[in-house]
Structure 1
Amino acid sequence: MKISEIKERKIIHRPTLDFDEDGKRIYHAYEYYLPYNPSFKNSETQRLFAKWIDMAIFSLIFYLLFNKILIASILLSIPCVIIFGAITEFYFGTTLGKKIFRMKVIDDEGNYPSFLKSISRNILCLANFYPVFSERTTKTVAMGTRTGTVMNFSMHMNNKICKTYIVKESKIEEIRSLLDVELPKNNERLID
């Protein structure tokens, strides 16, 4: 089984227009099987900071040890982060920046990605830094309705293409246990 094939059972209670004899609203329960989402809230921001931490370390190495100017140090750190990131993700499932935020990279089978998959996702991360601009409307009592432009970074394209996931370290055991569970076929029963 793969992570992309895991389904989660969700029960949603929707109110009806009817009430019982005590005056309480009657709800209908609807059952859905939705795709499992192994990611976590605020992952894009943490991934962006993790990448900046990795770049800062290599930039400091080039700046302090090799006496390069700051711009050259930053530019030289980019290929180093890509290559070193691919190696560490292949062996450990994480980089130093991701380790600080307790994140791991896993593939669709729940393992650390292969070296080729890791190098391709790290090369594709350069396209992730393309900012996405969107409008956001806020309402406040004092200022009324205000519309402004918000800049976000889309940090999920490389994972979508390479079929990898960024998860918290604490969630890996849950994901692997879900992958070990084998569902019975349509007409088969589990026999003890």
Structure 2
Amino acid sequence: MKISEIKERKVIHRPTPDFDRFGKRIYHAYEYYLTYDPGFKGNETQRLFAKWIDMALFAVLFYYLLYENPFTAVLFSIPSVIISGAVTEYYFGTTLGKKIFRMKVIDDEGNYPVFFHSLKRNLLCLANLLPIFSEYSSKTIAMGRRTGIQMNFRMYLNNKICKTYIIKESKMEEIRSLMDVEPPENKKLPES
């Protein structure tokens, strides 16, 4: 079984317009099997910081060991991070920056990605660094309604194309145990 085939059981209780004899609302319980999401909340920010940590390490090495100017050191760090990221993800499933945040990269079978898959994924990370600007609105008592522009990053594009997942190290056992179970069908539970 693949990670993309894992289903997660969700039970949703929907109210009906009917009440029982004690005046309590009657609910219908519906059972759904939704696609399992192995990711975690806030992974975009952690992945961005992990990439910056990896780039900073190489930039410092180029600056102090090869006596390059800061701009050239940062420029040389980009291909270095891509190549070293592909190698370390192939062998260890993580990079130094991801290790600090306890993240792993796995493919759809639950293994570390093969080298060329990882290289493709790391090349596509350059597209992740292109920001998306969106408008937001907030309302406070003191200031009234305020609108502004916020910047977000698309830190999921390379994983979507390469069918890889960024997970926490602690979720590896849960994912491996879920991969042994057959996916069930959606159905309605008996009324409660």
Give the root-mean-square deviation of aligned CA atoms.
Answer: 1.5
Alpha-carbon displacement from aligned partner over 1:42-86 (angstroms, at most 9, x marks no partner): 000000000000000000000111111000000000000000000
3-state SS of the aligned residue for 2:142?
coil
Distance 1:50 1:124 in 2: 16
Letter in 1 for 2:121: R
The residue that corresponds to 1:111 in the other structure is 111
Distance 2:20 2:148 in 1: 46
Shift of 1:93: 0.1
Shift of 1:164: 0.2
CA contact (8 A) 2:7 2:184 kept: no
1:1-20 superposed matches below 5 A: 1-20=1-20
User: Does residue 156 of structure 1 match 2:142?
Assistant: no
The residue that corresponds to 2:171 in the other structure is 171
Higher relative contact order, structure no. (Cα contacts within 8 Å, ≥ 6 residues apart)? 2
Distance 1:141 1:14 in 2: 34
Distance 1:21 1:41 in 2: 43
TM-score scaled by length of structure 1 = 0.92
Alpha-carbon displacement from aligned partner over 1:7-26 (angstroms, at most 9, x marks no partner): 11111112223333333332
Alpha-carbon displacement from aligned partner over 1:103-146 (angstroms, at most 9, x marks no partner): 00000000000000000000000000010111111122222222
Distance 1:184 1:138 in 2: 42
TM-score scaled by length of structure 2 = 0.92
CA contact (8 A) 2:6 2:183 kept: no
The residue that corresponds to 1:188 in the other structure is none
**Structure 1: where are the runs of 5+ without partners?**
186-192
User: Does residue 89 of structure 1 match 2:89?
Assistant: yes
Shift of 1:160: 0.2
Letter in 2 for 1:79: P
The residue that corresponds to 1:47 in the other structure is 47
Give me the identity figure in percent: 72
Q: Which segments of structure 1 move beyond 3 Å, counting only runs of 4 or more? A: 182-185
Shift of 1:170: 0.2
**Structure 2: where are the runs of 5+ without partners?**
186-192
How many residues matched?
Answer: 185
Distance 2:65 2:17 in 1: 72
